Each structure stands twice: as structure tokens, then as C-alpha cells.
Amino acid sequence: MPTKTFFNLPEEKQKRLLAAIHEEFSRVPFANISINRIIKTAGIPRGSFYQYFENKQDMLQYLLADYGKMLKRHALLSLKQSGGDLFQMFLDILDFTFTFVTEEKNNEFCKNVFSDIRVNNEFLRQQAGDTTFGEFAMDLLPYINMDSLDVRAEKDFGNMLGVLLLLTGEAFAKSFFDISNYRNVRSRYVVRLELLKRGFLKLKKADA
């Protein structure tokens, strides 16, 4: 993640550097990223870059973490609007991601960041890591309709989120690889989501 030096930069300089990084990712995949081109576009000395980030991987992790925060905001918004429907939240996240990716300013950037399966796996690893995932779950809990879920043990809810996250991550990857096929990707995702709902939701008692 960026150093304290980066976060202590004036806002204008932070934005200029991040814009240069965004421009470079819009140009080439992660494997071909050029730090020289980034610092030239941002107008900063090469040594300064390494005061802000350790290396390209560190820069990538910041981008992925920042994207994760954006997803979390939309997840919370979905829960508030749906009355705590966990499954609707994941579907809304997928739809939001598709809309975000297809915006012209984000299209090439997202394809270059996420179409590399190694990068996509790194994003999922970050989200599923003990600390990040725990914080994510705790932030969601107050807004989820827990009464509708068949939670029988302490770890059940975390495991539910993990399964849903992996399913959604797979749909993310397929969307990034072939944006034009999103309708089919979404349809398959909805079918699988419905299957999970059968197992995760409490059975409704039959009317007496």
C-alpha cells in the first residue's frame, strides 16, 4: 500500500499521480506497465515514485483496495434499498461493475487491470483475506436481514459470504474477458445465485 509520504502529498499532486497511473493501466496490461511512463506523465522524479510505492505490485494493490472500497459503498447502498437482501446485494454489485467497466473512461483500464487472471485472483485474495473480509462482513451485518438466513453456527455467515464472493468473482472475471457477453454471464450467475438461495435461506413454515 502507499506510504505515509503519499498520503501526506497535497491533494492535487495525489490526483495527478493517480491520473498518470490510471492512464498507464488504460494503455497496457499490468505485466507491461512502465513506471518511467507514469512518472513522466505525472511530472515527478523517479526517486519520488519509490517514496510513494514500493514497486508495481504495491501500486496494483492500492488500486485493487480502492476499487474494493467502492464496491463496499455500493453493497451497503443496495442493502439499504432492498431491506437487507444479501443475494440482491451481490447481483447489484455485479450490475454496478458492468456499468462501471463499460463507461468509456474506465473500459480499457478495467480490462487491463482485471482481464489478467492473476490480477483478478489477487483482488479476490485481498477481499477474502481475514482482515479485509472480516471488516467487510462487520460493515454489512447491521444492514443484512439475518432473520431470513439459515445461520446455525458462528462461522456460517462468514462462509456464506465467502461462497457468494467466489461465485461473484468468477462472474467478474468472465465479464472482463468478454464484456459483450455480459447478458449470458449474468443469466448464468442468476441461476447459480438462486441455487445458493435454496440452501442459505430458512425454510418457510407451511401455513397451519
Question: How does pLDDT run across 104-137, given as a tens digit for each residue?
Answer: 677 777 777 765 555 555 555 554 444 445 676 7
CB contact at 8 A, 17 and 52: yes
208 pLDDT more than 70: no
pLDDT at position 55: 85
- Residue 29's CB is within 10 A of a number of other CB atoms, namely 13
pLDDT at position 128: 47
- Mean pLDDT over 27-33 rounds to 85
State percent of the chain over pLDDT 70. Answer: 85
Measured in whole angstroms, the distance separating CA 6 from the mean position of its chain's CA atoms is: 22
Model confidence pTM above 0.85: no
- Mean pLDDT over 140-162 rounds to 89
Q: What are phi and psi of 149, to 5 degrees?
A: -100, 145
- Mean pLDDT over 47-52 rounds to 87
Tell me how far apart the alpha carbons of residues 107 and 26 are, in angstroms, rounded to a whole number.
8
Cell of 66: 480502492
Q: In a 3-state reduction of DSSP, which class is residue 201?
A: strand
Q: Among 136, 125, 146, 141, which Cα is nearest to 64's?
A: 125
92 pLDDT more than 50: yes
Average pLDDT, the chain: 82
